Amino acid sequence: MNGNEEEMKMEERKGKIVLMWGYLPGALPQRSPLVSPVVVSLPPSSGGGNSWKDVCGGGCGFAMAISDTGKLLTWGSTDDLGRSYVASGMHGEVPEPYPLPTEDAIVQAAAGWAHCVAVTENKEVYTWGWKECIPSGKDVGDPSNGGEKDAFDHQGSFQTEQVSPHSQGSKSSGRAMFSTENRGDEVTKRRRISSAKQPVESSSSADESFSAFPCLVSLNSGVRIAAVAAGGRHTLVLSDLGQVWGWGYGGEGQLGLGSRIRMVSSPHPIPCIDSPNKSVPHGCTESSQGVRVPGTYVKGIACGGRHSAVITDAGAILAFGWGSYGQCGQGSTDDELSPTCVSSLLGIRIEGVAAGLWHTVCISADGDVYAFGGNQFGQLGTGSDQAEILPRLLDAPSLENVNARTVSCGARHSAVITDDGKAFCWGWNKYGQLGLGDVVDRNIPSEVAIDGITAKNVTCGWWHTLLLAESPT
């Protein structure tokens, strides 16, 4: 056995666990925030797996993770206070396989405010949740021409929390476990979706009209999807050839189609990188703004509340959508209706990007962290609450001798893991979503105590954080 084979064998023997902190309605009987990391138990119903494979981004009141057998498990919101959660399935108190109409293994998934999207090992995409986020083939035009007011605004989904913990600020011992022993019948009774083919049981008929079952997304023949991202009400998917497709709400330009089209209800290709022409150097393409963008295809995507960001193969970052807080990184607060290169980062190879409600965070190949946008709760990690309309390098002492390699953004908080397996969080902490043992906001990156295990991936939901970690066996 050579060195590589031995290393692979050792890797297989190490078990992967999921840790969670923050707040998920219904996930704990006392409904109080988990202010420190807690192990999430893998249930017997996970399809024969004995380890976790990955954690999935987003989720307003619910969490998602994937078992090593490729089952998508969800949990979090069973109470009737959060009626909007009906749209994404009224997930059970403990992790349970989500009923998808496919036996194919899930390799990645993401959740927005009330919709979800997942990609299978065969590179097919399924989506479900709030009907406005699900492709239907009926597009609605530009609201600037006198169209109706955005329904999302007056529903206040981003302005007010849908569910408030009964014990905000209460401290947890951090010893609770998500055990499934002797709770199978209870979970079955409380789960609101039992299969993808059965109707959703909801608290009112109005709720049913807003929800849609998991469906296969129809794309052009031959298009195979490798990655997915979900925003407040929009979705981006990335093909294995580096083409970005999008659908959903586009009123602030977050679909990058050059207009304020209110609703795009069928997948549309997003022109992130134009075709090369003779006047542009090899390895670059000309953007619609005349900036020469390094790269020939897109390799990474991210969705925020109402903005989006993509990374090219050459490490350039482009942003588009709502810009009121500078979250598009252009030095202004204008909306960007088309993918626009963040020119101040040209020359720095960006490897990862994440987006929150009002902010964007990215990491470079050198492990540096850059942040821009809204900063009301310290979610940029700059040491203040001042918004940044241009990318700012984080120079926090806690990151001085570490290299960030994975980044995620929640609604108003951020997280990174480093190449030596440490986890750092900062920003809004009202519900313990920073995992630091309290409910105090932080405006600089602060290390999460996960002694004895190695962080592998992190993902932030609206009010919670999930960490995939490796524990020695």
Q: How far apart are CA 358 and CA 3, in angstroms?
A: 46
Strands (E), 304-412: 307-312, 317-321, 336-341, 350-355, 359-364, 369-373, 388-393, 404-409
Considering only CA atoms, which of 162, 233, 180 is closest in space to residue 431?
Answer: 162
The pLDDT tens digits for 78-120 are 544 444 444 456 677 789 899 999 999 999 999 998 899 999 9
pLDDT in tens, 324-338: 999 999 999 999 999
Q: Is the pLDDT of residue 140 over 80?
A: no
What's the rounded mean pLDDT across residues 261-278? Answer: 80
- Is residue 305 predicted with pLDDT exceeding 50? yes
> pTM for the whole thing?
0.81
Amino acid letter, residue 456: K
Predicted confidence (pLDDT) at residue 223 exceeds the cutoff of 50:
yes
Q: How far apart are the C-alpha atoms of 337 and 412, rounded to whole Å?
A: 23
Distance CA 227, CA 29 (A): 35
Summarised one tens digit per residue, pLDDT across range 148-183 is: 333 333 333 323 222 222 333 333 333 333 333 333
Residues 6 or more apart in contact with residue 193 via CB below 8 angstroms: 89, 90, 98, 99, 200, 201
Strands (E), 196-233: 211-216, 225-230
Residue 345 one-letter amino acid: L
Domain ranges of the chain: 16-471
pLDDT at residue 313 is higher than 80: yes
Strands in 231-306 per DSSP E: 234-239, 244-249, 263-270, 284-286, 292-294, 298-303
Pair 93, 27: CB distance under 8 Å = yes
d(CA 133, CA 266): 10
Average pLDDT (128-157) is 56
Please say whether the beta carbons of 298 and 326 come within 8 A.
no
How many Å apart are CA 16 and CA 471, to the nearest integer? 6
Give the number of other Cβ atoms within 10 Å of residue 152's Cβ. Answer: 19
CB neighbours of residue 127 within 10 Å = 26
- Read off φ and ψ for residue 427, nearest 5 degrees: 110, -145
DSSP labels, 91-135: --SS-EE---S--SPEEEEEE-SSEEEEEETTS-EEEEEEGGGS-
Q: Which residue, 416, 412, 438, is CA-closest to 427?
A: 412
**Per-residue confidence (pLDDT) for residue 194, from 0 to 100:** 30
Position with higher pLDDT, 190 vs 392: 392
Between β-strands 298-303 and 388-393, what pairing exists: parallel, antiparallel or unpaired?
A: unpaired
Residues recorded for the chain: 473
CATH of segment(s) 16-471: 2.130.10.30
pLDDT of residue 76: 83
What is the distance between the alpha carbons of residues 32 and 409, in angstroms, rounded to a whole number? Answer: 22
288 pLDDT tier (thresholds 50, 70, 90) = very low
Q: How far apart are CA 404 and CA 284, in angstroms?
A: 27
Q: What is the pLDDT of residues 340-393, one digit of tens each?
A: 999 999 999 999 999 999 999 999 999 999 999 999 999 999 999 999 999 999
- Across the chain, mean pLDDT equals 80
Average pLDDT for 71-83: 69
Q: In this predicted structure, what is the pLDDT of residue 78?
A: 53
Tell me which DSSP letter residue 343 carries: G
- The backbone torsions φ and ψ at residue 138, rounded to the nearest 5 degrees and listed phi first, read -110, 105
State the Cα–Cα distance between residues 430 and 35, nearest whole angstrom: 9
Confidence bin at 285 (pLDDT 50/70/90): low
CA gap 217, 267 in Å, rounded? 8
Tokens of 287: 């953007």
pLDDT digits (tens, 9 = 90+) for 31-69: 678 999 999 999 887 766 789 999 998 888 889 999 999
Joined tokens for residue 380: 């940029």
Alpha helices in 28-67 (DSSP H): none
> Greatest CA span in the chain, whole angstroms?
69
pLDDT of residue 138: 56
Higher pLDDT, 130 or 124: 124
* Residue from 178, 192, 211, 183 nearest 40 by CA: 178
pLDDT score for 470: 94
